[in-house]
Copies of this chain bind each other. A is one copy, B any other.
Amino acid sequence: MTKQVNVGVIGAGRIGKVHVQNLAYHIPEANVVAIADIFVEAAEECAAEFGIPSVTKDHRAILENDQIEAVVICSSTDTHAQFIEEAAALGKHIFCEKPIDLDLKRIDRALEAVEKAGVKLQIGFNRRFDPSFKRVRDMVAEGKIGAPHIVHIISRDPAPPPIEYIKVSGGIFVDMTIHDFDMARYLIGSEVEEVYAAGGVMVDPKIGEAGDIDTVLVTLRYANGAIGSIDNSRQAVYGYDQRVEVFGSEGGIVVGNCTPDNAIVSDADGVHAAKPLYFFIERYTDAYIAEMKEFISCILEDKPPSVTGIDGRIPVVMGLAAWKSYRENRPVKLSEIG
């Protein structure tokens, strides 16, 4: 029998269930032994569905469980940094959903705790594990398109989240664009040094009343000289729109959307294809499995995760810089943020 990693999961919400299902069904090397949620009924339901032996309301019961080698933190954002510190102190390897925190000092303390404890920390930037985006990154890294010159990242949600969520989200640049900031770094393998953010409230005035915007366009300037854009909308009526493009001295790569089927219908009105997959869980099904596989294999083979704590910190810096840029209507260097 293969060696297994005993895992505890903290947080039984939407994304917690995705990870539990993947650990239970797709990763024979992992064994989910306990799940915690402050809404204990959610943890119980999840445990029943996926056969997890132990359920708790208190995340400490997971962290203090000697059987458990690794924790998967899927609780609300405001608990991430604290749980990372606690888990590190108890010697657990950590997978944590993004963002670590919205406060850079808080992030730094958590990352120090991880470093001090010598445990592994992987941040949940699932899109890096999508086969299409990974292929773009690999081609760029291998020089297949020469030196990268221009990047475009298009990332539009099918519908906005509830206003109550938006109010506590930290705003679009740290809640939504953060994924694209990570993608921007991942694809090019060079740091972004400066951002310029334009945007507005175009989808729903309630989002504006909540102090946020819903449509953005961010210009990126990379250390290696490349330039790029990210656009976000909280609402694409045709579904989840996730595309990237990298253009370089020897060619370009474009990644289009994924669809539920490949049927093309021609009729008197035109030629029709399926809309993109509507929801992030469908769109990134395989990517979520792949990221968790990597986390487990990093533990089993004692190798460093490819998405580290610093990879969790920098997109927050970018998000804060984007907010500053948007508010002051001027390009902002990341070095201004910290």
Number of interface residues of A (CB under 8 A): 77
Residue of B nearest to A275 (CB): B270
Q: Which of A53-61, A86-94, A176-184, A252-260 is near enough to bind chain B?
A: A252-260
Contact present for A271 and B267 (CB under 8 Å): no
B contact residues around A260 at 8 Å (CB): 131
Contact present for B270 and A247 (CB under 8 Å): no
Contact present for A202 and B249 (CB under 8 Å): yes
Most buried by B among A198, A260, A330: A198
The answer to whether A100 has its CB under 8 Å from any CB of chain B is no
CB distance from A119 to the nearest CB of B (A): 29
B contact residues around A268 at 8 Å (CB): 237-238, 250-251
B contact residues around A267 at 8 Å (CB): 144-145, 237-238, 250-252
Would you list which residues of chain A between 201 and 253 have a CB under 8 Å from chain B?
202-203, 215-217, 219, 221, 225-229, 231, 233, 235-238, 241, 247, 249-253
A256 to B263, CA, bound (A): 7
B contact residues around A200 at 8 Å (CB): 225, 227
The answer to whether A161 has its CB under 8 Å from any CB of chain B is no
A198 to B271, CA, bound (A): 28
CB distance from A327 to the nearest CB of B (A): 13
A1 to B262, CA, bound (A): 37
B contact residues around A255 at 8 Å (CB): 261-264
The answer to whether A266 has its CB under 8 Å from any CB of chain B is yes
The answer to whether A167 has its CB under 8 Å from any CB of chain B is no
Contact present for A136 and B263 (CB under 8 Å): yes
Residue of B nearest to A202 (CB): B149
Contact present for A202 and B147 (CB under 8 Å): yes
Interface bits A154-166 vs B (CB < 8 Å: 1, else 0) = 1010000000000
Asked whether A149 and B229 contact (CB < 8 A) given A260-B131, A265-B253, A275-B266, the answer is no
Interface bits A73-97 vs B (CB < 8 Å: 1, else 0) = 0000000000000000000000000
A285 to B319, CA, bound (A): 39
Asked whether A202 and B225 contact (CB < 8 A) given A237-B267, A271-B274, the answer is yes
Contact present for B135 and A261 (CB under 8 Å): yes
Q: Please pick, from B144, B198, B253, B274, the residue contacting A227 in the complex, using a CB distance under 8 A.
A: B198
Interface bits A274-306 vs B (CB < 8 Å: 1, else 0) = 111000000000000000000000000000000
B contact residues around A109 at 8 Å (CB): none
The answer to whether A190 has its CB under 8 Å from any CB of chain B is no
The answer to whether A337 has its CB under 8 Å from any CB of chain B is no
B contact residues around A241 at 8 Å (CB): 252, 266
Contact present for A270 and B271 (CB under 8 Å): no
Q: Please pick, from B48, B150, B221, B266, the residue contacting A238 in the complex, using a CB distance under 8 A.
A: B266
Contact present for B271 and A131 (CB under 8 Å): no
The answer to whether A273 has its CB under 8 Å from any CB of chain B is yes
The answer to whether A199 has its CB under 8 Å from any CB of chain B is yes
**New A-B contacts (14) at CB < 8 Å, excluding given A150-B233, A152-B229, A270-B274:** A28-B49, A132-B263, A135-B274, A150-B231, A196-B198, A198-B221, A202-B226, A217-B229, A241-B252, A251-B266, A252-B267, A254-B266, A255-B261, A256-B264
3 pairs of A and B residues whose beta carbons are closest in the complex: A251-B267, A25-B25, A238-B266
